[in-house]
Every structure is written in structure tokens, then in C-alpha cells.
Amino acid sequence: MSRTAEMLPPVVPARRALPRYLVAATLARGADAGAAVGVVLLATLPAVGAARPALLGGLLATCLTAPHLLGPVLGRWLDRAPDGRGRLAVGFATYAAAVAAAGLLLGRVPVGVPAALLIVAGICGPLLTGGLSSRLAALLDPDERAQRRGQGWDAVTYGIGASAGPAVVATLAALLGPRMSLVGLAAATVLAAALVGTLPPRAPGRGGSARTGPPARGALRAVLGSGPLRRVTAVTTVAAVTGGAISVLAVALAADLGRQAVSGALLAAVYGGGNLAAALLVTAFPLTGVPERLTVRWAALGAVAVALCAAVPGFPLAVAAFALAGAATAPLFAATLAARSAYAPDAVRAQVFVSTAALKVAAASLGTGLAGVLAPLGPRLLLGAGASVTLAAALAAVSARQRRDG
């Protein structure tokens, strides 16, 4: 036995490590989802003195999301580590410190300072999503059912985080103010960092070392080259554009149906509720089948559900359609995780997870922006266009696979 192997702590059984992973993932993803809401609320404070609070809030939120495009660099940083837990914990702690400092300083120093801090947090953001997910497979039993069940649980953490994060921010902002809501998110991220440090080490031979880590172009070749990972990434990235637009289009559709804006928020909440309910079902009844085919199938079903959202004649049916659209996102995400685990080369595993997560965040941000810019076209047309583009991407993936198999 080598000296390195002797120094590694024993691997903790999956049934003991997985709960800690899930708590850490829920805390981290809740913080990531709530931070953008928190900075938008913070920008409205009179003490901040913003002439256009909505514009300032949007710009600060962009500072959090745009740096996700640096995900491949962060992924390589993870892959170069012999273990990676320490680097994940450092990234989480940096995110927490930057968000808390930005929240406390906005309105008290030149706006460029908190904006720069939020950019630092945004750079660390992919570690809270894809970076952490890259550790999941090693915590699970190797059989397919255990892996798929674990991927379903990971989808649950995203669903809970997406709904609980903003809810916690709203509650803390009402009780203690927006600044303290961001401090609360930072505290949750610090706790997540501590839990990450208790996870089992990466198995020897998984990933590179500080001297021999694979270059970033290796991950790019895996993601953008030929093969199932490229097709899965393309389909999920296109679907993420529509997903990012949903919250904006929900409010617009409520108005189109003669309802107040709060009804649009209800549609967005129902979409999130459908996601969470389906994630729990995927955990109880894990997906089976080829990951690429599962991804394409659920992307197509999600597109059909979004098309139903565009066609509803009244608000009750809109609620049902948005619930269905949200429900389709959970198995799609679980299938995407399965595809990354199945098709990502071990040497660039973290890079693949972080890069694809970064692409999804960037695509969702693009979808949100396009929904605002193209709002005059009407929510029904935009929902229909989003469904059509996603369905076209799914059909293109099927065609490409058939050409390869043929």
C-alpha cells in the first residue's frame, strides 16, 4: 500500500455520507437561488439611494450570474486537486464572505465595491451547483438504481433550494431587513462548506493532481465534441433558456388572463412546486434507461407542457399547465446528471459537471433577459416559441443519434 493511500481516511459508507451531502447541497443551492433575490431587494432600500432601484438590482443580480461562464476554469481547478473537498469548501466560504460583505457595504461605499464582491461570489457559484454534484457518484453504490436514486435526491436539493432560498430571503428581509437576509444566506453557505469537508475523500485515481491535472480543453472536447454528451448538453442548454424565461412569462400570462401580478407569482410558485413533487417521485422511482434518450425524452415532454401553458384559455388550466411544465424539469435534470456521470471522462469529471452547469445558468439568464426584451410580443407567443425551440433541439438530437447509429 502506498504512503498516499495510507494517509487517506477510510471511505464512509454511502448511507452515512449521502445525508450530509444532501444537507450541504440544499443549503448551498438555497443560498445560490436566494442571493439574486436578496440583492434586488437590497437595491430598493432608501439607504442605498439608487435613482433606479430596479436597474441597480438587475445589474447586481447579473454580477452574480454572469461569472458562471468561468465554470470550466473552476472545474479544472477541482480536477487538479488530489481530493477536491478542501477546494470546494474554500469556494463555498469565499462565496459566503463575498455575499455577506456586499450586502453590508452596498449604499455605504461606492457601488463598484459590492459589485466586485458579487462578481467574486458569482465566480464561485458553479462550485455550489455542478462542482458539488461532481462528488455525488462516489458517495453512491455503483449499481444503476442506486446512482439514479441519488441523482433524484440531488434534483430534490435543487427544487428545495429554488423555492426555500427566495422564501427565506423574503422572510428575513421582512423581519431583519435585506442586509441580514444576505448575511443569513452566507451563514448557510458556511455551514455547507463545513459539511463538504466531512464527505468521504475522492477515490484514489479519480481526477488529476496539482501537477498533472488535465487542461480545460479536455473538458471542452468532451462537452462540445461529438457524442452523447454534446447532444445532452445542447438539449439541456436550449431548454434552460425557456426555463429562465418562465418566471417573467408567468407574470405576463397572468396579466393576459386578466389577473393581478400576484397571480403570476402563484404560477411561478406552482412551476417550482411541480418540480419539487416530481423530484421526490424520481427519487422514489428512479429513472431507468439510456441517459441520453431519457434526457431528450424529458426535454421534449417539457416542451409540450410549456406549449400547453401558451394555449390555456383560463387561469385554472394555467395552474395545471405550469405544474406539469415544472414537473417535467425534475426528471430532465436527473437524466442530465445521469448523462454527465455516464459520459464524462474521469480525468475531467468536475470540469464537465461545472461547465455544463455554468452553461445552463448562462442560458437561463439569457432566457430571462430575452423574456423582458421581447415582452411586447406577448407571453403566449414567447411560450410557444420557447417550446418550439426546445422541441426542435430534442428532434435534432434524435436525428444526430440515428445518423451515428446508422
- How far apart are alpha carbons 316 and 320 in whole angstroms? 7
Q: State how far the Cα of 174 lies from the Cα of 185, in Å rounded to an integer.
A: 15
Residue type for position 239: A
Taking the CB of residue 149, how many other CB atoms lie within 10 A of it? 21
The three grid cell numbers given for residue 373, joined into one nine-digit string: 426584451
Q: State residue 11's pLDDT score.
A: 43
CA atoms within 13 A on the CB side of 375: 14
Give the pLDDT score at 26: 94
Sign of torsion over alpha carbons 196, 198, 203, 204: positive
What's 82's DSSP letter? S
pLDDT number for residue 406: 55
CA atoms of 189 and 26, how far apart (whole Å): 10
DSSP symbols for 312-368: -SSHHHHHHHHHHHHHHHHHHHHHHHHHHHHHS-GGGHHHHHHHHHHHHHHHHHHHH
Contact call for residues 68 and 132 (beta carbons, < 8 A): no
One pLDDT digit (tens) per residue for the chain, 406 residues: 333 333 334 444 445 788 999 999 999 998 988 888 788 788 888 888 777 776 787 788 878 877 877 777 777 788 787 778 889 999 999 999 999 999 999 989 999 999 999 999 999 988 988 888 888 888 888 888 888 888 888 888 888 887 788 778 878 888 898 899 999 999 999 999 999 988 887 654 444 434 444 455 555 665 666 588 889 989 999 999 998 888 778 878 888 898 876 677 678 778 888 888 898 898 888 888 898 999 999 999 999 999 999 999 999 999 999 999 999 998 998 898 888 888 877 777 777 887 787 788 788 878 877 877 788 898 899 999 999 999 999 999 999 888 776 5
Q: Give the model's pLDDT for residue 10.
A: 43
Tell me how far apart the alpha carbons of residues 333 and 371 are, in angstroms, rounded to a whole number: 22
Q: Report the helix count and the strand count for the chain, using DSSP H and E.
A: 17, 0
> Which among 18, 53, 48, 46 has a CA at the least distance from the CA of 152?
18
Q: What are phi and psi of 8, to 5 degrees?
A: -75, 135
pLDDT value for 341: 82
pLDDT for res 3:
39
Tell me the residue type at 325: A
Q: What is the pLDDT of residue 209?
A: 39
State the Cα–Cα distance between residues 191 and 97, nearest whole angstrom. Answer: 12
